[in-house]
Every structure is written in C-alpha cells, then in structure tokens.
Amino acid sequence: MDTINFKNDSLPVMVGVENIALRQMHSEIPHLHNNLEIIVVNSGTVICSAGNDEFELHAGDVCFINLKQIHRLCNNYDKKCIHKVLNVGVSLLMQNPIIYDKYIKSMLEDTSFSHINFDGEGGAAGKISNLISDIEDLQKNTPEGYELKLIALIHLVFYEIYLAYIHEPTKVPMDNNAITVQKMIEYIYKHFNEEIILDDIAIFGNISRSQCAKIFKKYTNLSPMVFLNKHRLEVSLNLLRSTTKSVAEIAQNCGFFDQSYFNRLFLREYGCTPLVYRKSGWV
C-alpha cells in the first residue's frame, strides 16, 4: 500500500513478494510513497507507469521508483505475475550525513528522476536482485549481527542505482501541476478517513475546483473524488485481511459514513461484498 509500516523504525527495510492480482501490497491506482521502492519481477509481465513513461517489466527486470513519484503497477490480467519489492526508508540512508549529501540527496531530490529500469539481461539487475534476496534472508533468519550486514547490503543496492543515475540522460523536471497533484494526493492519504469534498482537495492545492479536476485527471486518469474512494476501498481491503474489525467499523475507519454506500462501491470495484471478500481468503 501507499503507507509502509516498517516493523523497526530504526531499521526501515522491508522485503515482500506480491501477486498484483491479489492487491495485497501495491495500490492498483496511481500512488506515491514516502520511501524508496525497488521492484524485481520474478515471473510474468508487470506494466508500470512512472513519470511520463509507461513500460513493461519482464522476469528478471528491476525497477527503482524514486521518492514521492506518482506511479502505478498493473499485471494486464496475468495472474502468474509475481514480483518482489524492497522498501527502504530514507532515514536509513541519512544516518551517514556525508555519504547522504554527496551521493543520495541530489538523486532523491531530482524531480526529473522518477524511476530507472535495469534490464534483466544486464549485470546490474542481477546484482540488485541477488542483494535483495540476501536482505530478505537476513531479515528472515536474523543471525548474530545481521543489522550490520543488512545496512551494508542496502548501500550496495544504492551504489548500483547511483552509478546508473549519473549515466542517465537529463530529463525534464517535474512541472508545477505534477507537484500540485503530488501534494493533493498526500492530503488524501492523510485525511481519507474524514469527510472530504472536492473543495477541500482544491483548497489544499491552492487551485480552483475545475483546475483540480483537470490536472488530477491528467496525472492519475481519475477524478479527485474517484481517486479518494478507490484509496479508501484499498485501505478497507487491508483492514478486512489483517483485522477482525466489523465491516461497519472498517467503513467508518475508511471515511465511509454510510455502510450501504461502502458496500455498493466495494461490490462494484471487487465483484463481491466486504463480508464475502473476508470469507473468501482474498482469492
């Protein structure tokens, strides 16, 4: 999902394996993260859009998504599409200020740098993939002193990303409208469980209602209110899977103050009611 809850905030690293068809980790809608994300495709084909680009990632390919960049992953209805995701909190990379300022900061703050792809046939993709597997094993087995090695492996991953970044051709920086949409999405993430109308989103972006709708549609292919409700529904999926809260309580927690409306939207989006979804085992 959009907000990553790390088990250890002092060591914000998480590796997960995802089947996009089940929507267990990744949002189906365009979204952004406050952390760094590296995707390794295990099987199938992932369709990814980031920045101004839309592209396919195949088995063995690796993709780095930069901080707070609007992106979307989908699987083109390929249920065998499996990928691994490494999420890294920026705070981990900031622990050595000299290294961070010299190599990392400018890369993360470069608004023209939305992502970078590593072809599965190239050497860097294989190196990054192997490093992420090692990180996953360390977190699973936690041998004595594993944190020291984990931090070293994270820096080796970003060494490969940095080398690719400095050889990337210069791209056009993010325009002001994209930055405004980014801010409005962050507003929705923070206030989705409250009563929100279009005016609230537009005011936060310091733009008119019509301009809000126009640029939101351009960068997410959704209206602001449709985006809001889709985000609410995706949060509800996670709560249905991970908690024993009642459907009524989950609806309230997600900003749906009319449970019948929540049920209708859920049925329209996922083809079943929230209760049936919970009982289905999420298949």
Q: What is the CATH number of the domain that holds 230?
A: 1.10.10.60
Say if residue 23's pLDDT is above 80.
Answer: no
Q: What share of the chain is helix, strand, coil (3-state, %, to 5)?
A: 50, 15, 35
Q: Are residues 37 and 155 in the same domain?
A: yes
Domain containing 119 — which CATH number? Answer: 2.60.120.280
In a domain, 214, yes or no: yes
**23 within 8 A of 234, measured Cβ to Cβ:** yes
Q: Which residue has the higher pLDDT, 52 or 12?
A: 12
pLDDT above 90 for 37: yes
Average pLDDT over residues 56-75: 91
- Would you state the pLDDT for residue 174? 79
Domain end residue (candidates: 145, 166, 187): 166
Say whether both 67 and 112 belong to one domain: yes
Extract the tokens encoding 58.
């195949």
CB 115 within 8 A of CB 69: yes
Q: Which pLDDT value is given to residue 228?
A: 97
Alpha carbon separation from 39 to 152, 173, 208, 220, 280 (Å, rounded): 19, 23, 36, 21, 28
Whether the per-residue pLDDT at 6 is higher than 70: the answer is yes
Tell me: do 81 and 201 sit in the same domain.
Answer: no
Domain range for 152 is: 13-166
- Which residues share a beta bridge with 83? 18, 41
pLDDT of residue 224: 96
> Nearest to residue 87, comparing CAs of 9, 160, 144, 200?
9
Of 121, 143, 166, which residue constitutes the final position of a domain? Answer: 166
For residue 67, is it within any domain? yes
Give how many domains the chain has, as a whole number. Answer: 2
Write down which residue in 119, 148, 166 finishes a domain.
Answer: 166
- Pair (130, 237) in one structural domain: no
Q: Is residue 265 part of a domain?
A: yes
Model confidence pLDDT, tens digit, residues 220-255: 999 999 999 999 999 999 899 989 999 999 999 999
Q: Mean pLDDT over residues 7-17, rounded?
A: 89
The reply to whether 131 and 194 lie within a common domain is no
Residue keyed to tokens 């992502």: 115
Is residue 75 domain-shared with residue 116, that is, in the same domain? yes
pLDDT band at residue 283 under the 50/70/90 scheme: very low
**Predicted TM-score (pTM) of this structure:** 0.83
Average pLDDT over residues 97-102: 96
Task: Look over the chain and give the mean of its residue pLDDT values, rounded to a whole number.
Answer: 90
